[in-house]
Amino acid sequence: MLLLQAVLLLLVLPSPGEVTTTEETLPKEGCAGWMAGIPGHPGHNGTPGRDGRDGTPGEKGEKGDPGLVGPKGDAGETGVPGVEGPRGFPGIPGRKGEPGESSYVYRSAFSVGLETRVTVPNVPIRFTKIFYNQQNHYDGSTGKFHCNIPGLYYFSYHITVYLKDVKVSLYKKDKAVLFTYDQYQDKNLDQASGSVLLYLEKGDQVWLQVYGDGDHNGLYADNVNDSTFTGFLLYHDTN
């Protein structure tokens, strides 16, 4: 079939010696039996064109949904302290609390006086005038204070001196711990005193006693002059 088409094509074409003019050439449309040529192969793709210009920005879209919460960031550095603010108004006082349980109060005290002149030396002086002895820790029959609560005690004495010199000592557990001496002035009343802090254990005894012979026993008391002996607990031993 291809060979036949080639032969027909050669017959139609003019020979090299023939002169042809445009007027004599018959139009292709008028040539009976004319046939189209073989279709050619598709051409290669051209090179891509340049990018076009940026388009005009579109209208702003609607707000999207919130995204997921991200992880907590690291703590930042501590800032500089700010300026102290003004002082606030006083708050409303709170309600009064409930009364607490009362603690036990340790008491031990006495204060006694001399009723008659003492004449016997080297024995406890019996102060029989009782000013205070509520706990009965002082024994008027012996003149001795008996410790029932261990702790620190304060003792003092004030004596009137008349007719003779006085030498008085304060005893604790059969041992003199404090001494007082007063020299009598003729035709006059004199005063002597002493005080001391002592730690006592339960069962200890404290008393006053004239020491020496009878020449130093000038303790005196009457209805206008007193000789007194006093002691009391400062604080008890917590051990």
Task: Please list the pLDDT of the chain residue by residue as tens digits (239 residues).
Answer: 666 666 566 665 555 544 444 444 445 555 555 566 788 888 888 888 888 888 888 888 888 888 888 888 888 888 888 888 898 888 888 888 887 666 678 999 999 999 877 667 888 999 999 999 999 999 999 999 999 999 999 999 998 888 888 888 999 998 999 998 888 777 788 888 999 999 999 999 999 998 876 666 777 888 888 899 999 999 998 77
Distances 131 to 89, 117, 153, 183, 204 between C-alpha atoms, Å: 55, 18, 18, 28, 22
pLDDT of residue 21: 45
Angle at 181 between CA 178 and CA 184, to 5 degrees: 155
pLDDT of residue 25: 46
Farthest CA pair distance, the chain: 197
pTM for the whole structure: 0.57
Q: Identify which of 2, 14, 11, 4 has the alpha carbon closest to the alpha carbon of residue 38.
A: 2
Please, is 97 exposed, middle or buried when counting C-beta atoms within 10 Å of its C-beta (0-12, 13-18, 19+)? Answer: exposed
Q: Identify which of 125, 119, 107, 120 has the alpha carbon closest to the alpha carbon of residue 229.
A: 125
> Hey, what are 28's tokens?
């292709």
- In sequence order, the 6+-apart residues with CB closer than 8 A to the CB of 118 are 125, 210, 217, 219
> Hey, what are 228's tokens?
């007194």
Q: Are 169 and 124 in contact (CB under 8 A)?
A: no
Sole residue written with tokens 């005080």:
195
